[in-house]
């Protein structure tokens, strides 16, 4: 039997990149999936079609994660449609890359609203629903936060994004401490440099290819590799893991050192 048979997952920002990879990997392991998107409806429909082709059910729902009312409506729709919610992946994020002294306040605020507050909305609403449901099998639910190695590496021109990622890592640990009595597992994944459509907004294909050569693994990570980490943390295999951070970066962080 697949590890997530009978489970329902909700993935924010599931139309592209890491969200897409996570949604597809969850479906491959037997989960039905709520596919959240903000501005790529065709991509979201493609993800849903791929999920149904696996024999699983998909619900596509548009919502901006920074909009609290829209998020509440999405969670209500998910539970109304499927009857319960077992896994939530707080993935949606954004970044406007500008040095601090040149940054526009509206870009800083928007980044924080999505990458930090949007994660808070998803995690809080997920936890509230899971507490209401109580134990379903060995767990009351699994919440996985997609953060970044940016939470430990002060990447230039990404101050607001770096701030947001550091904040959501601590959010994950805090919620894990608060929710152990309810047997809700909350863990964080820190991806490294992952090959996603979003990277094309900052770099050319040539720059990405050259950058990949400098990575410890001599390549970028894939969305599927992050998705497999999500599946593990969402499964009973990770039942005794909460408040932890799984770094999937091909050795990027540990390879950073000063040379003499």
Task: Enumerate the H helices of the chain as residue ranges.
Answer: 17-28, 41-53, 68-82, 105-112, 118-133, 159-179, 205-213, 223-234, 252-255
Q: What is the pLDDT of residues 228-258, one digit of tens each?
A: 999 999 999 999 999 999 999 999 999 986 5
> CA-CA distance, 245 to 187, in Å (whole number)?
6
More confident residue, 81 or 216: 81
User: For position 122, what pLDDT does the model report?
Assistant: 98
> CA-CA distance, 203 to 220, in Å (whole number)?
13
Q: How many CA atoms lie within 13 A of 117 on its CB side?
A: 15
Mean of the per-residue pLDDT values of the chain: 95
Q: Please say whether the beta carbons of 61 and 85 come within 8 A.
A: no
- All domains in the chain, ordered by first residue: 8-252 (3.40.50.720)
More confident residue, 9 or 197: 9
Give the residue numbers marked as catalytic: 161
For the record, the structure tokens of 203 come out as 């770099």
Q: How many CA atoms lie within 13 A of 56 on its CB side?
A: 28
User: For position 257, what pLDDT does the model report?
Assistant: 65
> CA-CA distance, 225 to 136, in Å (whole number)?
27
Q: Which of 189, 246, 229, 190 is nearest to 26 (CA)?
A: 229
């Amino acid at each position: 039997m697949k590890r997530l048979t009978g489970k329902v997952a909700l993935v924010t920002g599931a139309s592209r990149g890491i969200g897409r990879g996570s949604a597809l990997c969850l479906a491959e392991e037997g989960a039905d999936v709520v596919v959240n998107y903000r501005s790529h409806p065709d991509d979201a429909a493609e993800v849903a079609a791929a999920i149904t082709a696996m024999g699983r059910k998909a619900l596509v729902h548009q919502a901006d994660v920074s909009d609290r009312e829209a998020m509440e409506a999405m969670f209500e729709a998910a539970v109304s449609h499927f009857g319960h919610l077992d896994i939530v992946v707080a993935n949606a994020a954004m970044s406007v890359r500008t040095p601090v002294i040149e940054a526009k306040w509206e870009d800083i605020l928007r980044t924080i609203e999505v990458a930090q507050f949007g994660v808070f909305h998803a995690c809080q609403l997920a936890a509230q629903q899971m507490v209401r449901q109580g134990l379903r099998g060995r767990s009351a639910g699994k919440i996985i936060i997609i953060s970044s190695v940016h939470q430990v590496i002060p990447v230039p021109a990404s101050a607001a994004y770096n701030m947001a990622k550091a904040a959501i890592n601590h959010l994950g640990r805090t919620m894990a401490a608060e929710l152990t009595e309810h047997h809700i597992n909350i863990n964080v994944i820190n991806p490294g440099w992952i090959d996603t459509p979003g990277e094309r907004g900052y770099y050319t294909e040539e720059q990405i290819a050259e950058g990949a050569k400098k990575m410890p693994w001599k390549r970028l990570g894939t969305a599927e590799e992050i998705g497999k980490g999500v599946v593990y943390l969402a499964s009973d295999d990770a039942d005794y893991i909460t408040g932890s951070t799984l770094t999937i970066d091909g050795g990027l962080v540990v390879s950073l050192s000063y040379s003499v």
